Structure 1
Amino acid sequence: MGSVKQFQVTFDCAQPERVARFWCEVLGYVVPPPPGNFTTWTDYDRSLSPGDRDSWFACVDPSGVGPRLYFQRVPEGKVAKNRVHLDVRAGTGLAGEERLATLEAECARLVALGAVRVRLLSADGENESCISMQDVEGNEFCLD
């Protein structure tokens, strides 16, 4: 049996392009070129039947290292806590006040993009501080 070489993270959401563009800004990801012979994503979207328009969007790590993020439109809204969430690793290798200052600065940047700060989880001797947040559609993630 072979090992997995790549994976993508899929988000269920109401507005795929809006959520994808938010995560592009958060992670430094980019929107890949449109499929086929289309010159723009708008042209591609117009080629679809009305029910399929704006049904998905994706973004990729420009370095090719991180997973592809895929956003698909679903009819129902979010009703419970995510079973899986992303940890945005902004404070890796930092501790104490330096880590907290770095996390707070990144939190302010993400709030300006439309994220919501939920709460600070303070260092407890076993884990360093992190900030619980939500993206533009309420999906939880940690600023770690």
Structure 2
Amino acid sequence: MASIQDLVFDSPHPASSARFWAQVLDDYEIAPYDEEELARLRSRGIDDPEDDPTVLLVAADASLPRIFFQLVPEGKRAKNRLHLDLRVADAVAEAERLCGLGATVQAEREEWITMQDPDGNEFCLMRS
């Protein structure tokens, strides 16, 4: 039997993708960069966490999966094979807030609103 440890998103700029999703998801934040992590980055020739090729989001509840954003050179070419459905109190208000963060509305249905994050990854806001 398996359990989910990490969700991994491909991204052209992991730091900005992580910032977007940290603002979208309750109780998630970018994992802090301690001195050990900064030293690891410097050993790879990376002086600024903004250029980190793998940025991690962690949840306050350690039982929730971590979310990684990893650098990939190619852009997104097709619809996601997997997407997130997010539970929200007010889908319309949340869609407006997320558009202000750089998301876009793709379609509105009776039960959900389909959106894309700034990297073009689809996700849905479920209407209650």
Normalising by the residue count of structure 1, what TM-score does the alignment of the two structures yield?
0.75
Cα offset, 1:35, TM superposition: 5.5
Superposed CA offset, 1:68-91 (max 9, x none)? 100110111000000000111114
The aligned counterpart of 2:103 is: 115
Alignment counterpart, residue 48 of structure 1, candidates 44, 48, 52: 44
**How many residues align structurally?**
121
After superposition, the CA RMSD in angstroms is 1.9
Report sequence identity in percent: 40
Partners of 2:44 and 2:34 lie apart in 1 by 12
The aligned counterpart of 2:116 is: 134
Deviates more, 1:107-116 or 1:5-14: 5-14
Q: Tell me, yes or no, if the aligned pair for 1:35 and 1:44 is still in contact at 8 Å.
A: no
The aligned counterpart of 2:92 is: 104
- Secondary structure of the residue aligned to 1:65 is coil
The aligned counterpart of 2:14 is: 16
Superposed CA offset, 1:32-63 (max 9, x none)? 2225635xx5x65444225xx52110101112
Q: Say which structure is richer in strand.
A: 2
Partners of 2:95 and 2:65 lie apart in 1 by 22
The aligned counterpart of 1:98 is: none
Cα offset, 1:5, TM superposition: 4.3
Q: Please identify the structure whose Cα radius of gyration is greater.
A: 1
The runs of at least 4 aligned residues of structure 1 exceeding 3 Å deviation read 43-47
Partners of 2:59 and 2:107 lie apart in 1 by 28
Normalising by the residue count of structure 2, what TM-score does the alignment of the two structures yield?
0.84
Amino acid at match of 2:33: P
Which consecutive residues of structure 2, in runs of 5 or more, have no partner in the other structure?
none
Partners of 1:72 and 1:63 lie apart in 2 by 22
Amino acid at match of 1:83: R
Amino acid at match of 1:26: V
Deviates more, 1:63-72 or 1:132-141: 63-72
